[in-house]
Structure 1
C-alpha cells in the first residue's frame, strides 16, 4: 500500500484527475471541478490535508475554509468521506451516493469505490477492554456497489463484489463476494479504469506521479 504522505498536493490532485479520464493538467482539473461532484469531494479532501501542513499563520484560516468547502462537497454528493482519511493518489468514486468512510480508514493508490460502499470500524470486546480495528484498502482495489468492509485489510488489486460484507482479511489479488465475504476467484487482471502512474511500479518514482503543469 502506498504511503499517501509521500506525495504532494498537485501530485495527488493530478492523479485523481487521471482516474476520471481527464488528464492531469490544470484545464482537466478545472473541468472536473465544474462538472463532476465526486471529483470535487476528493479535491476538497486534498485541499484540507494540504492546508493542515501550512505554516501556523496560514494554517487555521485556510484549513477552516477548506473544511467548510469539503462539508459542502460531501453534502452535494450525498457521501461521507472525512477530510482526515488517509487516501493514496488516484482515487476514483463512481456515483458516490451513500458512500460512508471512517475517518481512520486507510485507502491505497488507484482505488475505485462505488456508491453505497461502507468502510467502517470493528470493535472487539475483550476482558481487557474494547479493541478497535479500522479498514485498510491496498493499491488498485475495486469495491463494488453497497459493499461493506469492516475493520480488516484488503490486499492490493483485490475486487470486492457488490453487496459483499467483508469481515476477514483478504489476500492480494483475490475476488471476494457474499455475506459473509469469501474468496471466490483470483484476480488475473486488476480492474483499474484509467490508472494513474504510481510509485512502486517499475520506472515510476514518487516525484513523477501525475505532476501538475505550471
Structure 2
C-alpha cells in the first residue's frame, strides 16, 4: 500500500514537471552588452578640413570675446556673444569628430592668426566695432564657402557633412547680421586697407 502511494506521488511529480516544461516559455535572453564606441579613419582631406575648422573656431572665438571689454555697443556685444556661442558649438563638433577618428586636436594657432587677433586688442569702441564687423563679413570668403560646400557633399562621414553644412549656414547668417549692424556696405571698403596691413 505504501509502495503504491510512493509510485503515485512520483508519477504526479513527473507529470507536473512535464506540464511546467511544456506550458511555461523559456526566459528571454539577456540583452547584449553595449558595444564599444566605434572609430573610423579620416581621409587626408577630411583631416585637413577639420584642422582648418579648428583654427577658424579658435581665432573667431578669441576675436569676438574681445567685444565684452573693447566695444561700447550693446548690440555689438550681444552679436559677439552669439558669434562666440556658435563657434564654440562648432569647436565641440570638431573635437568629437577628431576624437572618433583617433586624431589629436590642435591647440596652437599660426603666427599669422595670432597677429590677426592682436590687431584687435588695441582697438576700442567704434574702431573695434567696425573692424570686428568687417572681420565677420570677410571671414566668409568664396574659397572657404567652396571648401564647406565640397565637404558638405563629399565629406567622409555624416558628422563631417553636417559640420560643413552647419558652418556654411552659420557664416552666412553672421555675415548678414554684421552687414545689418554696420548699417552700410561702406564698412567693407572703408577698412579693407586697415585690415590688409595685418596680413
TM-score under structure 1 length normalisation: 0.24
Higher radius of gyration, 1 or 2 = 2
Q: Name the structure, 1 or 2, with higher relative contact order (CA <8 Å, separation 6+).
A: 2
Higher helix share: 2
